[in-house]
Structure 1
Amino acid sequence: MHYTLHQLEIFYKVAKLRSVTKASEELFLTQPAVSIQLKKFQGQFDIPLFEVVGRKIYITDFGEEIAIAAENILSEVNAINYKALSFQGKLSGMLKIAIVSTAKYVMPHFLIDFMDKHEGVELNIDVTNKAEVVTSLENNVVDFAMVSVIPKHLKIDRIELMENKLYLVGGKQYRCKNQNITKAAFEKLPLIYREQGSATRAQMEHFIASNKISTYKKMELKSNEAVKQAIIAGMGFSIIPLIGLKSELNNGDLQVIPMKGLPMITNWNLIWLRSKNLSSIARHFVDHINDNKSDITSHHFDWFEQY
């Protein structure tokens, strides 16, 4: 057999994601390139590694065994690479971060320079809701988490990064621009909520309850991106973070609707368990954030100040 590490990595990604398309995206390759290498890898074996039924790919039992072996081999190769970089005095290894879904508009800006500077550092980011982010941190699955609401039951250290502002947002169909919406008018709006466990949902529910607003729920969606698209389509209104709305506000697809008591302001925080023994990579990342957060926020989020 003469398969390559590249082919092994491609098969492992396809087996893990159950999709040639998703594997090509993660590997930054075209779909035809992935398909060609996958076919060459299969050609090394007399037993099928996968089956294609309709438009879906199914991994055979034999393929699952090969995927497990591939994961172990690739892990060992990465360990060799890490050791080589370590002997050269360079940072090497994995940085793991769990972030709430809205933080995907923020976290990359705090990572890009660090990742460019340290080529031996690999990054694993899990994007999910607040409840699952906190669980990952509590179970020591990740080095850091990025949240806007601090989990009170955990002893954590943190770096406050920047403000998180939540506004009432509607589509371009809403006609009372630049006028404060009344409580009575708000109660008539079809509202779009995030799912249970979302910090954005908790903030929205807190605002409604604290202002004794009687309203009804139009729908529930599992990401701020889905909420945003539903608002653009005219399906309803929501109280959501400003951070992910820059393009849509600029082109007029969305608008901030002024209302007494808004915006609700929290802060984005990078947090980690106080008891955690941070790796060398994690300690360097903390130093990077402390040294550069002011420059990063002023450079990438100056538009924030106009709201």
Structure 2
Amino acid sequence: MNYTLHQLHVFFKIAQTQSITRAANELHLSQPAVSIQLKNFQDQFDIPLTEIISRRIYLTDFGREIAQAAENILNEAQVLNHKTLAYKGLLYGKLKVSVVSTGKYVMPYFLSGFMAQHEGIELVMDVTNRQKVVDSLTRNEVDFSLVSILPHQLQVNQLELMPNKLYLVGNGMSETGQQGTDPDLLKKLPLIYRESGSGTRSTMERFIADHQLEVLKRLELTSNEAVKQAVLAGLGYSIMPLIGLKNELLNKDLKIIPISGLPLKTSWMLIWHKEKQLSPIAQAYLSYIEENKARIIHQHFDWYDRF
């Protein structure tokens, strides 16, 4: 037999996901590439590894045994890599981070330099809504989380990365019919909300409640990107974090609607559970951020103060 570690990895991912499409997405490969690797791997066995039933892929009994063997081999290969790096005095292992969805515009820039310095570190980053980020921290599933609102139900340590500003925005052609900045303007505008559990939604609802406004809720969408596209299409207005609007504002596809009390200001914060014992990788990352934060902000977010 002449199978490769890459073929084992592809087959094991298919076994995990029970889907060539999902396996391709998780491996960042095309569907045809995954299908070819599966076929090349299967050709080395006289017994079928998979079968298709009602257009779904299933492992045969033999396939499940091979998947288990593949997992063991891949784990052993990873151990060999780690031992090599450790012998050279390098860090190895996983850095696990959970990020609120809008934080995807922030966190990669605070990770890229660190990852480039440490080839033995594997990054696992989950981008989701605030409630799920807090849940992952509570269950000790991650080293760090990126949030803009501190979870009051947990005792956490925190490191502020940069400001977070939220503005009312409409598309570039929108006319509010009013020159003033009274928050009452929100009563007349169709508003687009994030889903329950979102930090952006929580901040937006607090502003509306503080001003005792009765507003028209037009849509509820499950990602900041979806809200942005809906605003661009003219479906309504939303209070949104500035961090994800750079290109649209500079190109005048979106515009900020001036409202008294806006922007709402919070901070992007890296947090970790107070009782967590940080791994050597997590400690190294924390030191990297403390030393490089100012440089990263200057290099990647110099546009932020224009608005």
AA in 1 matched with 2:58: I
Q: Deviations over 1:219-252 (max 9, x none)?
A: 1111101111111111111111110111111222
Q: Is the Cα contact below 8 Å between 1:100 and 1:129 reproduced in 2?
A: yes
The verdict on how the C-alpha distance between 1:237 and 1:81 changes in structure 2, with shifts beyond 3 A counting, is same
Residue 142 of structure 1 is matched in structure 2 by: 142
Residue 230 of structure 1 is matched in structure 2 by: 230
Q: Deviations over 1:131-180 (max 9, x none)?
A: 11111111111111010111122221111000010111111231259944
Residue 50 of structure 2 is matched in structure 1 by: 49
2:251 aligned with 1:273: no
Cα distance in 1 between the residues matched to 2:183 and 2:165: 20
Cα distance in 1 between the residues matched to 2:105 and 2:251: 18
Q: Is the Cα contact below 8 Å between 1:97 and 1:143 reproduced in 2?
A: yes
**Which TM-score applies when normalising by structure 1?**
0.92
Cα distance in 1 between the residues matched to 2:178 and 2:214: 23
AA in 2 matched with 1:40: N
Q: Is the Cα contact below 8 Å between 2:15 and 2:59 reproduced in 1?
A: no
The verdict on how the C-alpha distance between 1:216 and 1:15 changes in structure 2, with shifts beyond 3 A counting, is farther
Cα distance in 2 between the residues matched to 1:150 and 1:163: 14
Identity over aligned pairs, percent = 52
1:1-307 equivalences under 5 Å are 1-45=1-45, 46-51=47-52, 57-62=56-61, 63-64=63-64, 66-176=66-176, 179-307=179-307
- In the TM superposition, residue 189 of structure 1 has moved relative to its aligned partner by 1.1
- In the TM superposition, residue 113 of structure 1 has moved relative to its aligned partner by 0.6
Cα distance in 2 between the residues matched to 1:69 and 1:201: 46
The verdict on how the C-alpha distance between 1:108 and 1:214 changes in structure 2, with shifts beyond 3 A counting, is same
Q: Over aligned residues, Cα RMSD in angstroms?
A: 2.1
- In the TM superposition, residue 53 of structure 1 has moved relative to its aligned partner by 5.3
Cα distance in 1 between the residues matched to 2:171 and 2:70: 48
Q: Is the Cα contact below 8 Å between 1:96 and 1:123 reproduced in 2?
A: yes
Q: Deviations over 1:175-202 (max 9, x none)?
A: 2599444334321211111111111110
Cα distance in 1 between the residues matched to 2:251 and 2:261: 26
The verdict on how the C-alpha distance between 1:29 and 1:52 changes in structure 2, with shifts beyond 3 A counting, is farther
- In the TM superposition, residue 42 of structure 1 has moved relative to its aligned partner by 2.1
SS, match of residue 187 in structure 1: helix
- In the TM superposition, residue 70 of structure 1 has moved relative to its aligned partner by 2.9
The verdict on how the C-alpha distance between 1:236 and 1:97 changes in structure 2, with shifts beyond 3 A counting, is same
- In the TM superposition, residue 44 of structure 1 has moved relative to its aligned partner by 2.9
The verdict on how the C-alpha distance between 1:143 and 1:212 changes in structure 2, with shifts beyond 3 A counting, is same
- In the TM superposition, residue 16 of structure 1 has moved relative to its aligned partner by 3.4
Cα distance in 2 between the residues matched to 1:92 and 1:257: 48
Cα distance in 2 between the residues matched to 1:251 and 1:52: 50
Cα distance in 2 between the residues matched to 1:178 and 1:72: 66
Cα distance in 2 between the residues matched to 1:50 and 1:192: 45
The verdict on how the C-alpha distance between 1:180 and 1:286 changes in structure 2, with shifts beyond 3 A counting, is farther
Q: Is the Cα contact below 8 Å between 1:180 and 1:257 reproduced in 2?
A: no
SS, match of residue 302 in structure 1: coil
Q: Is the Cα contact below 8 Å between 1:177 and 1:257 reproduced in 2?
A: no
Question: Which sections of structure 1, spanning at least 5 residues, go unmatched?
Answer: none
Cα distance in 1 between the residues matched to 2:39 and 2:170: 49
Q: Deviations over 1:22-69 (max 9, x none)?
A: 544543444433221111112234224242755xx5233544554444
- In the TM superposition, residue 19 of structure 1 has moved relative to its aligned partner by 4.6
Paired residues, number: 305
Question: Which sections of structure 2, spanning at least 5 residues, go unmatched?
Answer: none
